[in-house]
């Protein structure tokens, strides 16, 4: 079986931004309330960060429950791991994701400033300074036959799209305009030369865009 | 975790029939071409009966790929196993599903005429003469903590709905009128007193109805 590279549950504003400007330790999404972007996912029964037994089981839940299915590794940009830029100043700080990160696989963090790998619960973070193709190769090997999730942010997804390495994308477009920040696209139509798309409005207010290769 | 009873990928006509009349050995769906009812599923990459590597990966595929996720047992009516009525006349005939049935779990076939259990590849068929609640209890035990799929046909799903035992339902409504046969509902609105619903039209022509308990 082919090992796919999949974008799952990536939320953007109606004008295509995945996060606002001015990301910092206290504001992983910069100048945007993450609640406004990802509340559709938080309301579902299968959301990875859910701690109680409630939640909806309709359309949005089909999207969140697919998050970990057949995933053996994740690739993410440095901004999804933490707000630092340049050389690491404090190796004791081990990312935004707490003692039990929701990835539960090897994770490859793309950065020009590498640091030693470490493990938190079921997740091992590796720091790699390489091109998308080479990083994907390492992630595929670590995934042991399973698919690889491309976790974001928008800049990282763009890099892999530009290198034509992405097999499927699920992007949830929120009815919220940001105006600036980290941008995935000006319009989803940019991908239509290479991908099929299903555009699926949800009662939660987001519109799911499901792309797969032509 | 609760063990849910889930209906998955059950296809009905626009007037609510899951199969036509006159089911027989050569025509499991009776007087209806099954292709017309279930072609939406057959076109997806994750369809359980697919033998090649093609297929779509959009909305419909999210529905078919959820078919086996966290399922530990299936319950089905006798008509889904075979066309026979009354006492079994030939125990050598072992169902419509071939040497590798797509269920890959214990399957409980509801019938007033029991026969010995048997195993085909990863699937073991048990034949049970009991009320829905008692059958569900046995299936839950066999599922070892996982959910139970309620496989149909329409009459069997109705029995479990009437006993208020179904937790979630995915029903795909095809744009095809049957007029008679085995009926799930006159209208999906019949379930709205007990269930939330997301109604999701697909580019394939079917309209997915996703129900979960209020």
- Domain range annotation of chain B: 5-213
* CA–CA gap between residue B26 and residue B32 (Å, rounded): 12
Indicate if the pLDDT at residue A1 is higher than 70.
no
Q: CA angle at residue B29 from A198 to B65, to 5 degrees?
A: 30
> What pLDDT sits at residue A36?
83
Indicate if the pLDDT at residue A162 is higher than 70.
yes
**Average pLDDT in the A111-136 region?**
97
- Please give the interface size between A and B, counted as residue pairs whose CB atoms are below 8 Å apart: 55
> What pLDDT sits at residue B75?
98
Is B197 within 8 Å of A69 when comparing Cβ atoms?
Answer: no
pLDDT band per the 50, 70, 90 thresholds, residue B1? low
- Determine the residue of chain B that is closest to A65 in CA distance: B66
Indicate if the pLDDT at residue A66 is higher than 80.
yes
Indicate if the pLDDT at residue A212 is higher than 90.
yes
Is A210 within 8 Å of B57 when comparing Cβ atoms?
Answer: yes
- For chain B, helix, strand, coil in percent to 5 are 20, 30, 50
**Average pLDDT in the A39-64 region?**
94
Contacts 24+ apart (CB under 8 A), B58-62: B58/A196, B58/A197, B58/A198, B58/A210, B58/A212, B58/B202, B58/B203, B59/A198, B59/A200, B59/A208, B59/A210, B59/B200, B59/B202, B59/B203, B59/B208, B60/B202, B60/B204, B60/B206, B61/A212, B62/A62, B62/A63, B62/A66, B62/A210
Q: Which site among B59, B171, B191 would you substitute to test the A interface, given the most A Cβ atoms closer than 10 Å to its Cβ? A: B59
Task: Confirm if B155 and B130 have CB atoms less than 8 A apart.
Answer: no
> What pLDDT sits at residue A100?
94
CATH number of the structural domain A5-87+94-213: 3.40.430.10
Q: What residues of chain A lie within 8 A of the CB of B46, using their CB?
A: none
pLDDT band per the 50, 70, 90 thresholds, residue A145? very high
Q: What residues of chain A lie within 8 A of the CB of B197, using their CB?
A: 58
> What pLDDT sits at residue A27?
85
Indicate if the pLDDT at residue B198 is higher than 90.
yes
Select the residue of B58, B200, B212 nearest A56 (Cβ to Cβ).
Answer: B212
pLDDT band per the 50, 70, 90 thresholds, residue A45? very high
Task: Please state the CATH superfamily assignment of the domain spanning residues B5-213 in this structure.
Answer: Dihydrofolate Reductase, subunit A (3.40.430.10)
Q: What residues of chain B lie within 8 A of the CB of A196, using their CB?
A: 56-58
Find the radius of gyration of the CA atoms of chain B: 16
Name the minimum distance, in Å, from the CA of A127 to any CA of chain B.
Answer: 31
Indicate if the pLDDT at residue B149 is higher than 80.
yes
> Which are the contacts of A132, defined by CB distance < 8 A and separation ≥ 6?
A159, A160, A163, A165
Q: What tens digit of pLDDT does each residue of A81-107 get?
A: 999 999 999 999 999 999 999 999 999
Q: What tens digit of pLDDT does each residue of B20-64 get?
A: 888 888 888 888 888 888 999 999 999 988 888 899 999 999 999
Name the minimum distance, in Å, from the CA of B113 to any CA of chain A.
Answer: 36
Indicate if the pLDDT at residue B184 is higher than 70.
yes
- Considering the entire predicted model, what is its pTM? 0.93
* CA–CA gap between residue A30 and residue A181 (Å, rounded): 8
User: In this predicted structure, which of A23-37, A46-60, B162-176 has the lowest mean pLDDT?
Assistant: A23-37
Is B198 within 8 Å of A59 when comparing Cβ atoms?
Answer: yes
Task: Confirm if B100 and B77 have CB atoms less than 8 A apart.
Answer: no
**Average pLDDT in the A153-180 region?**
96
Is A62 within 8 Å of B66 when comparing Cβ atoms?
Answer: yes
> What pLDDT sits at residue B51?
86
Q: Which of B168, B213, B169, B172 is nearest to B195 (CA)?
A: B213
Select the residue of B2, B56, B210 nearest A212 (Cβ to Cβ).
Answer: B56
Name the minimum distance, in Å, from the CA of A114 to any CA of chain B.
Answer: 35
> What pLDDT sits at residue B53?
86
Name the minimum distance, in Å, from the CA of A165 to any CA of chain B.
Answer: 16
Q: What residues of chain B lie within 8 A of the CB of A63, using their CB?
A: 62
Interface of A with B (CB under 8 A): 1-2, 53, 56-59, 61-63, 65-66, 69, 168, 196-198, 200, 202-203, 208, 210, 212
Contacts 24+ apart (CB under 8 A), B132-138: B132/B159, B132/B160, B132/B163, B132/B165, B133/B163, B133/B165, B135/B75, B135/B108, B135/B110, B136/B5, B136/B75, B136/B160, B136/B165, B138/B108
User: In this predicted structure, which of A41-50, A139-148, B31-40, B70-79 has the lowest mean pLDDT?
Assistant: B31-40
């Amino acid at each position: 079986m082919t090992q796919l590279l999949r974008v799952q549950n990536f939320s953007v504003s109606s004008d295509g931004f995945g996060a606002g400007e001015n990301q910092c330790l206290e504001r992983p999404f910069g100048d945007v309330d993450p609640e406004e972007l990802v509340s559709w996912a938080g309301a579902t029964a299968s959301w990875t960060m859910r701690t109680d037994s409630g939640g909806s089981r309709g359309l949005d839940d089909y999207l969140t429950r697919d998050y970990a299915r057949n995933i053996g590794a994740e690739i993410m940009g440095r901004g999804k791991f933490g707000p630092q830029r340049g050389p690491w100043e404090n190796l004791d700080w081990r990312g935004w994701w707490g003692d039990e990160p929701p990835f539960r696989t090897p994770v490859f963090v793309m950065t020009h400033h590498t640091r030693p790998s470490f493990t938190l619960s079921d997740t091992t973070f590796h720091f790699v300074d390489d091109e998308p193709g080479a990083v994907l190769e390492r992630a595929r090997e670590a995934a042991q036959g399973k698919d690889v999730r491309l976790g974001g942010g928008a800049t990282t997804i763009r890099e892999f799209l530009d290198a034509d390495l992405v097999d499927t994308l699920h992007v949830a477009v929120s009815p919220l305009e940001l105006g600036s920040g980290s941008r995935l696209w000006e319009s989803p139509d940019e991908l239509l030369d290479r991908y099929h798309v299903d555009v699926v409005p949800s009662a939660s207010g987001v519109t799911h865009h499901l792309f797969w290769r032509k």
